Amino acid sequence: MTTSTIEPGSASAWLLDQLTTRRTFQISVDTDTLPQGLVVAAAALAAGVTLVEMGTPLLKCEGVVNVVPAFRRRFPDAVLLADMKSMDGAGFEARKIYENGGNIIDFLALSGVDSAKAVCATRDEFRQRDPAVARLAFADILVPHQGPADVAVDVARRMLDAGVDGVGIHLQLDARRANPDLLQSDYLGDIARAVYAAVGSRGSVQVVGGLSIAKAVALARDGLKAFVISGNLGVADAAARFGLPPADIERHVAEFIATVSAA
């Protein structure tokens, strides 16, 4: 069994401790242009998010070598996560994220253990090169594809055994649009609770997929700590709100963080 190699006292160890012991909030910057993505990220950071996710649409539309350095220049002190959704060649993609200033790569658990180990090998190389810069690897568990709960728990265990630092329980966008009942039900929450109970002591367990404030509050009360704010900005619907004025984005994100933090 492989485990995450992390040097005590390093930046990676500090960040992982924050993500596993405290409530943290990530904004998914799922825009299709870099200028709009920078505006959304700035508003979310002003509201108090812990991590800035350079979303898959942004990375694909604008390119890793353009997006990641631009975000690092604009937000030199932010924790930057690249939601690559890698299915193959994941170690190579991780290298490009780390080389260009990213802290975390998020790849698909569907890619399997070999991809997880390739990502972790690259992560460990960068950790050893510069322990002062945090480098983590997350595996995204897509549901319903990798549901129900017992399946998701098994996937999470295999990913953590392969060495990843955390997993995300992610209600797929296409699935929740095709079946709105998935979003309105507690399907995502039930799986997230089961995974957290099984592996929450071993790594970060993020919850992502159109979370409303109310659903995030319920999960927080059950002990979960890592929440991803999607384009709905915590409102209980499927509407994307990244086109709002920055002050309105900041207000929605701040409300999400304050309400869930108080739960």
Tens of pLDDT, residues 106-140: 999 999 999 999 999 999 999 999 999 999 999 99
Mean pLDDT of 248-263: 98
Question: For residue 167, what is the domain's CATH number?
Answer: 3.20.20.70
Taking the C-alpha atoms of residue 154 and residue 143, their distance in angstroms, rounded to an integer, is: 13
Any domain includes 4: no
Q: What is residue 8's predicted lDDT score, i.e. its pLDDT?
A: 87
Token readout for 2 is 């492989």
Mean pLDDT of 222-244: 96
Taking the C-alpha atoms of residue 140 and residue 159, their distance in angstroms, rounded to an integer, is: 10
In this prediction, residue 61 has a pLDDT band, given cuts at 50, 70 and 90, of very high
Tens of pLDDT, residues 155-212: 999 999 999 999 999 999 999 989 988 888 999 999 999 999 999 999 999 999 999 9
Please measure the distance between the N-terminal and C-terminal CA atoms of the chain and give it in whole angstroms. 37
Average pLDDT, the chain: 96
Q: What is residue 236's predicted lDDT score, i.e. its pLDDT?
A: 92
Residue 63: CB atoms within 10 Å: 12
Q: What is the DSSP string of 134-177?
A: --EEEEEEEETTT-SHHHHHHHHHHHHHHT-SEEEEEE-HHHHH
What predicted TM-score, i.e. pTM, was given to this entire model? 0.96
Taking the C-alpha atoms of residue 163 and residue 137, their distance in angstroms, rounded to an integer, is: 8
Any domain includes 109: yes
Taking the C-alpha atoms of residue 23 and residue 71, their distance in angstroms, rounded to an integer, is: 24
In this prediction, residue 1 has a pLDDT band, given cuts at 50, 70 and 90, of very low
How many domains is the chain built from?
1
Residue 218: CB atoms within 10 Å: 16
Residue 3 scores a pLDDT above 80: no
Range of the domain at 102: 85-261
Mean pLDDT of 30-44: 98
Q: What is residue 238's predicted lDDT score, i.e. its pLDDT?
A: 87
Any domain includes 148: yes
Q: What is residue 2's predicted lDDT score, i.e. its pLDDT?
A: 44
DSSP 232: T
Q: What is residue 4's predicted lDDT score, i.e. its pLDDT?
A: 58
Any domain includes 193: yes
